[in-house]
């Protein structure tokens, strides 16, 4: 399935139809008992073939994380795979999430379990099995160099990758990305706006994702920072949403089922789209068809997920309602 990010110009044209409200007024909107829905809807503006599902850490819960096999599965499922990047003691950029080996490496000494990627050479890291923790089907899988991932992407524009920066030299990473000619296939992800801006200056052809979580007040402060630069260098924004109720009870008619209010998410989506930026969320607390339908009704354009198969089923079901 071809997955392409919407051109900013197209989004801006489409947004002219959505009549966004003033972002300043949104947080003070009076609470309501009626289900809120955005005037803008992905189903009416984004072809299903262009809808973006980010597969967390490669393929989410369907595979051991951050391995070549996980990324390949994520691509096979029609997702943009996500990787976490760290650097070994001898300067090799690899895909690995945690600060230490305790969770995903079994059968090592307590001393080694406390160590992390930065404490070992790549040769030492290659000796570790990072698949067995997931089950016998994943036994014997190893940490990969990012250059190995880029090699799989080269010549395959449909293979795209989110790169969540943990501990990496941006100039070195930019050089490796350019070496394999995958500048337009990578999306630099960070919670730090300055990192996003530095990366965009190094690789202008790439996309960027600024992700954030917190209370509405904390999120509003993040948006105040972005307004000062007119959202410069950001092409995607991910706001974490947190269910406050049982996910199985959530329907499209649910009122404020997330800690982030319906009105808040609608207004933030309107503001984000007005800048030609993709609006994504990673929902915490459950992944059901009702949860995704509710978020799509609130104007979400994309999802990050640990359950890409479930997410795609829900998105396709929602799109199938068009015209009914």
pLDDT digits (tens, 9 = 90+) for 258-281: 999 999 999 999 999 999 999 999
Mean pLDDT of 45-67: 96
**What is the percent of the chain with per-residue pLDDT over 90, rounded to a whole number?**
84
**Tokens standing for residue 286:** 């459950």
Q: Which residues does residue 86 pair with via DSSP β-bridges, in sequence order?
A: 94
pLDDT for the residue numbered 15: 39
List, in order of start, the domains of the chain with CATH numbers.
Answer: 8-85+145-320 (3.20.20.190)
Cα angle value 203/204/210 (rounded, 5°): 85
250 pLDDT tier (thresholds 50, 70, 90): very high
Angle between helix 170-179 and helix 193-202 axes, rounded to 10 deg: 40
Mean pLDDT of the 20-33 span: 42
How far apart are the C-alpha atoms of 7 and 15, rounded to whole Å? 12
Query: Is the pLDDT confidence value at 21 over 90?
Result: no
Check residue 265 and give its pLDDT: 98
Residue with tokens 């096979």: 76
- For residue 249, the model assigns a pLDDT of 96
Weakest mean pLDDT among 11-15, 209-213, 221-225, 310-314: 11-15
Tens digits of residue pLDDT in 227-241: 999 999 999 999 999
pLDDT digits (tens, 9 = 90+) for 59-111: 999 999 999 999 999 999 999 999 999 999 999 999 999 999 999 998 899 99
Q: Which of 19-23, 84-88, 120-124, 167-171 has the lowest mean pLDDT?
A: 19-23
Of 138 and 100, the structure prediction assigns the larger pLDDT to 100
CA distance 212 to 215: 10
Residue 110's pLDDT is what?
A: 95
Q: Is the pLDDT of residue 206 over 70?
A: yes
197, 202, 204, 239, 318 from 229: Cα distances, Å: 11, 18, 17, 19, 35
Phi, psi of 80 (to 5 degrees): -95, 115
% of the chain surpassing 70 pLDDT: 89
Q: Return the number of other C-beta atoms located less than 10 Å from residue 137's C-beta.
A: 10
The stretch 11-30 carries a mean pLDDT of 38
| 1-26: average pLDDT | 38
pLDDT score at 136: 86
Q: What pLDDT score was predicted for residue 26?
A: 40
pLDDT at 23 over 80: no
Strand segments (E) across the chain: 52-55, 80-87, 93-95, 161-165, 186-190, 207-212, 236-242, 278-284, 302-305
Write the DSSP symbol of residue 128.
S
The pLDDT-based confidence of 36 (bands split at 50, 70, 90) is: confident
Distance CA 148, CA 171 (A): 18
Residue 19: pLDDT band (50, 70, 90) is very low
């Amino acid at each position: 399935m071809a997955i392409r990010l919407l051109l900013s110009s197209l989004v801006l044209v489409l947004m002219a139809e959505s009549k966004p409200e003033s972002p300043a007024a949104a947080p003070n909107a009076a609470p309501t008992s009626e289900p809120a829905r955005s005037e803008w809807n992905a189903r009416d503006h984004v072809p299903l073939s262009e809808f973006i599902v980010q597969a967390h850490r490669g393929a989410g819960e369907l595979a051991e994380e951050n391995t070549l096999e996980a990324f390949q599965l994520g691509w096979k499922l029609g997702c943009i795979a996500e990787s976490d990047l760290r650097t070994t003691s001898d300067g090799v950029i690899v895909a690995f999430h945690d600060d230490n080996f305790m969770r995903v490496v079994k059968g090592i000494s307590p001393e080694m379990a406390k160590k992390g990627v930065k404490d070992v050479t790549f040769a030492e890291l290659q000796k570790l099995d990072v698949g067995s923790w997931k089950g016998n089907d994943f036994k014997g899988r190893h940490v990969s160099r990012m250059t190995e991932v880029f090699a799989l992407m080269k010549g395959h524009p449909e293979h795209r990758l989110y790169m969540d920066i943990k501990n990496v030299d941006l100039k070195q990473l930019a050089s490796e990305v350019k070496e394999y000619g995958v500048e337009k296939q990578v999306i630099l992800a960070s919670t730090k706006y300055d990192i996003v801006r530095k990366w965009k200056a190094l690789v202008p052809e790439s996309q960027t994702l600024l992700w954030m979580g917190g209370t509405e007040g904390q999120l509003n402060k993040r948006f105040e920072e972005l307004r000062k630069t007119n959202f410069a260098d950001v092409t995607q924004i991910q706001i974490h949403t947190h269910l406050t109720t049982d996910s199985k009870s959530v329907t499209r008619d649910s009122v404020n089922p997330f800690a982030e209010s319906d009105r808040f998410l609608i207004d933030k989506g309107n503001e984000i789209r007005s800048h030609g930026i993709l609006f994504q969320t990673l929902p915490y607390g459950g992944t059901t068809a009702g949860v995704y339908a509710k978020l799509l009704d609130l104007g979400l354009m994309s999802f990050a997920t640990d359950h890409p198969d479930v997410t795609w089923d829900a998105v396709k079901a929602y799109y199938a309602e068009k015209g009914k």
